[in-house]
Structure 1
């Protein structure tokens, strides 16, 4: 009896010891894993993604003030495409590629410049909104039902997630209504100014929720111009507190010759089903398109960009060009709102890495014959990324070379296109390298070109 009791006590002790030891080991493993995750996450500076022109979804709703131009437009889109409140995705929807619906799309995307209020507005009866602000959701694909052919930032987001970034925690998106632009001081700009405030708030929230770590901004194309103005419109102390690094992908710092084609004849990105003239009026009405006209600061006065049998236009002749193509209503906002925006490229004094493509045929000169601007021109090609001229992509290099407080690195990738920079393995690798450097204590070079 005594021996069996002793044996039982020994077994009980051994069981207790074994289970306690195992529990302690499990707790140590959990603590180690938690410590590792916390350590890894804590080294990541939060990232905010800012898309380019047409780089996020846009929704619309029609009110009783909307006056459709046809019965087709009156019935489009059907009730199955709308939510309970009447909202539907206007950008991007593949039906816009079909001629009857292209016209409906164009008249709803149209902006109106009101000279009395000195601001841009939607077409009467059309309300628009940007879904999923703060999230990357509307940046991944322009149409989530056609992921393969409308992919946008998904490869970039996936690459960032693979190195530890988490949607809504360390990774955020800042979509916007890309039809609108910004205005200089003294001019109202309701939509653009609100976006800058929303972007500023998002940056501050991202930083605060990550222990006060400053943010890395990654922009594409037009988004880089918005970011530059956000930085320059805030104080140096704000920039120092909230901005760790600015990665600018394919930014048209000085505009692009392609916009002259867009305004003169309409541009459909090579989509064969869409007639350029059907979308030309809508494209001309876009404030951001006007902002992307070639800047006189970078494009020489002696260099003609558009040549016709009777005239030649340089970047210094944009007002005359707008008048001659039949868009005189664009002259006033260009002179009063756009030119002051592009008169200077002020260095924001935060570390910047520009990653650009080159070696792709890019429109440099447009040649029109006697048939006029309603016909597509012959094109003289130059260097660039297929959309933006190399001269514009590297404009900040020449502007900021003597800026002592501006850290700038330009990475040039041969054969990478304007949007390919978001999917090309070489480009993604360069972006991740910058992110890795930013998340380490090593400080980069002040000025360098790769």
Structure 2
């Protein structure tokens, strides 16, 4: 994705300052045309009231955990006439959905999640619009030709409560947690914030400008939130892939910066060492259990995601156990490059070797209090068995322990090493029977997450 297709700086992603007395939050989509922009500090002065009781919270979602918007340019070449319209709607009885899903004035529309847009026969259109492509000239990944994208609602939780507001029942994500925090007095844009990002990318060497800019914007957001909340350290709560991003970000900062601005890091259901499920995504595609969607239609775009490479099993966690078997042999986490070659994705070998090892081999504990939360006791893919029909068929699943998505060995991968760090304030909360997604919606688990956040109010604001 070219830099010019992304908001230039955090200042232009935030809201314009509100008129005096007007109540508003950071809800506008990034890059809205015709909206006078203000500096972060100016906007925050008019929007945020200092809380003397609640530690400010920033939520970092997981993969697919926030909305993405896209715009089609003249360079876009649809694969069929079905893909010519920018948006797709169900029959007219869903009037609200049709009204909400129309294009914005600047031509952007919600690409993820738009429930009608991922259903057959439009699944192919979705897949070709959301896929990434590697640009050898820049050495980074970018959008498909003719597609621009952006992340709306940076700074707000609006884009991560429900992924498709028109179909809340099937797209609820952080809404239950957000509502629980609001019941405790948190207010979006004042003491509660969101850090959505383009979850297709990964940080590190040769990172896309999109990934690098998110890290810059996250740092700016933290510093401004800290300032506008009476210099009270921020609580970062992340889910899934967001935990990997959160740890990577923290470890790029100095110890003094972490200890000044961050009061508590709460990673939830983090795949520290990847997942076996990710190997299924690369081998045969995965439709998240939606039987009416052909996983092979999604496979190419899923393979193009840098973050999916990041989520492949790490040798340091899975060791030499066989994770995928075929008639010709098996693959362990030590053989990921050979696995990518054998499934027919040789271009992934270079991307994996040049980007992923530094990410999965550096999981140092941050210099701040950490409460790690995950669940176990759910059947989770531990080994994938492919028949003579090959990788175009879905595998037989051999299950192990985990949260249904992430293996237990990955969820707990950093526990021992972090607990052994001298002076590290480290706690682990282990739940039972909560899946990777229901840990954010189940009453018991949400209550525990809220309690972990509220415990941060005991930390006094820095002087």
1:40 offset after TM fit, Å?
A: 10
| TM-score, normalization by structure 2 | 0.84
What secondary structure sits across from 2:196 in the alignment? coil
The alpha-carbon distance between structure 1 residues 231 and 441, as it changes in their structure 2 partners (threshold 3 A), is closer
| 2:268–2:374 Cα contact (<8 Å) kept | yes
Aligned counterpart, 1:16: none
Give 2:58's match in structure 1, choosing from 48, 56, 62: 48
Aligned counterpart, 1:235: 254
Q: Distance in 1 between matches of 2:198 and 2:50?
A: 35
1:436 offset after TM fit, Å?
A: 2.4
Give 1:292's match in structure 2, choosing from 311, 330, 336: 311
Aligned counterpart, 2:227: 208
Aligned counterpart, 1:313: 331
What secondary structure sits across from 2:394 in the alignment? coil
| 2:200–2:307 Cα contact (<8 Å) kept | yes
Q: Distance in 2 between matches of 1:277 and 1:210?
A: 48
Structure label with greater radius of gyration: 1
| TM-score, normalization by structure 1 | 0.87
| 2:72–2:86 Cα contact (<8 Å) kept | no
Unaligned runs of 5+ in 2: 1-48, 89-97
Q: Say yes or no: does 1:192 pair with 2:236.
A: no
Aligned counterpart, 2:75: 65
| 2:55–2:454 Cα contact (<8 Å) kept | no
Structure with more helix by fraction: 1
Give 2:115's match in structure 1, choosing from 81, 84, 94: 94
Unaligned runs of 5+ in 1: 1-38, 443-450
Q: Distance in 1 between matches of 2:203 and 2:136?
A: 16
Q: Distance in 1 between matches of 2:256 and 2:86?
A: 50
Q: Distance in 2 between matches of 1:436 and 1:95?
A: 38
Q: Say yes or no: does 1:419 pair with 2:437.
A: yes
Q: Distance in 2 between matches of 1:122 and 1:112?
A: 6
Q: Distance in 1 between matches of 2:291 and 2:387?
A: 22
Give 2:414's match in structure 1, choosing from 396, 417, 428: 396
Aligned counterpart, 2:165: 144
Q: Distance in 2 between matches of 1:441 and 1:281?
A: 47
Q: Distance in 2 between matches of 1:432 and 1:44?
A: 12
Aligned counterpart, 2:8: none
1:433 offset after TM fit, Å?
A: 1.7
| 1:349–1:405 Cα contact (<8 Å) kept | no
Cα RMSD for the two superposed structures: 1.7
The alpha-carbon distance between structure 1 residues 41 and 308, as it changes in their structure 2 partners (threshold 3 A), is same
1:190 offset after TM fit, Å?
A: 1.0
Q: Distance in 2 between matches of 1:40 and 1:328?
A: 53
Q: Say yes or no: does 1:160 pair with 2:178.
A: no
| 1:319–1:334 Cα contact (<8 Å) kept | yes
